[in-house]
A and B are shown apart, each in its own frame.
Chain A
Amino acid sequence: EPEVTQTPSHQVTQMGQEVILRCVPISNHLYFYWYRQILGQKVEFLVSFYNNEISEKSEIFDDQFSVERPDGSNFTLKIRSTKLEDSAMYFCASGDTTEAFFGQGTRLTVV
């Protein structure tokens, strides 16, 4: 069964450093998303991406965040200068016109 794959599963970074979270969506999907879940809280939408551009972004997705799909398969989320409050589980999802599938998540810890 096809699945969304995220790497790494856990990343620890120092405050102020740049991180790139990687996702390989399901191959025939057209819609891509990043969500965030701070420990013990609900899952929050960050950004959606379609046709090589951002469709929608939340207020959380400020200038420190960017997304791209550099090679037609990977879908990345970059945080330019991490803050302590960026520590969270980050989920990538991809979808067709019927449902969205989530990856297993990347746990980001900023120290």
Chain B
Amino acid sequence: AQTVTQSQPEMSVQEAETVTLSCTYDTSESNYYLFWYKQPPSRQMILVIRQEAYKQQNATENRFSVNFQKAAKSFSLKISDSQLGDTAMYFCAFMMGNFGNEKLTFGTGTRLTIIP
């Protein structure tokens, strides 16, 4: 079974600074996807960024980027120029195999607070 570990329960950073959230996972599969989801106080789950395991290039979405280290099974999220609206729970998630009919396995989350 796949597992996802987020070792930082809480983090805080000053507005406009850069913060990195850590995630490690365990799998014997070679074909999989990794995700970061944001859950603001409204509790909706919002996809932040996605990485396909077969791609060596790290995914980037505006101020959000990942550092994907496949051999180390590490998938960290970097938020640059952090904004107050980035305050939320962040969940790392793993999906096995061909996308479409596979479940997401989530980590326990990191509560990120952006300080004005």
Contacts and interface: CB of A to CB of B under 8 A. Distances in A.
A74 interface: no
Nearest to A43: B106
Q: What band does the interface of chain A fall in when counting residues whose beta carbon is under 8 Å from B?
A: 20 to 34
Interface in A1-39: 30-31, 33, 35, 37
Given A99-B47, A104-B44, A45 B100 contact: no
Nearest to B6: A42
A45 B50 contact: no
DSSP class of B's interface residues: helix, strand, loop or mixed?
loop
Interface stretch (A65-73, A79-87, A88-96): A88-96
DSSP class of A's interface residues: helix, strand, loop or mixed?
strand
Given A31-B100, A48-B101, A97-B100, A102 B106 contact: no
Q: What band does the interface of chain B fall in when counting residues whose beta carbon is under 8 Å from A?
A: 20 to 34
Interface string B68-108: 00000000000000000000000101000011111111111
A91 B45 contact: yes
Contacts of B42: 104
B91 A99 contact: no
A8 B81 CA distance: 36
Contacts of A45: 103-105
B65 to A, nearest CB: 18
Nearest to A44: B106
Contact of B43 (A33, A96, A101, A105): A105
Contact of A101 (B47, B98, B101): B47
Contacts of A44: 106
Interface of B: 37, 42-47, 50, 91, 93, 98-109
Interface of A: 30-31, 33, 35, 37, 41-45, 48, 50, 55-56, 58, 89, 91, 93, 95-105, 107
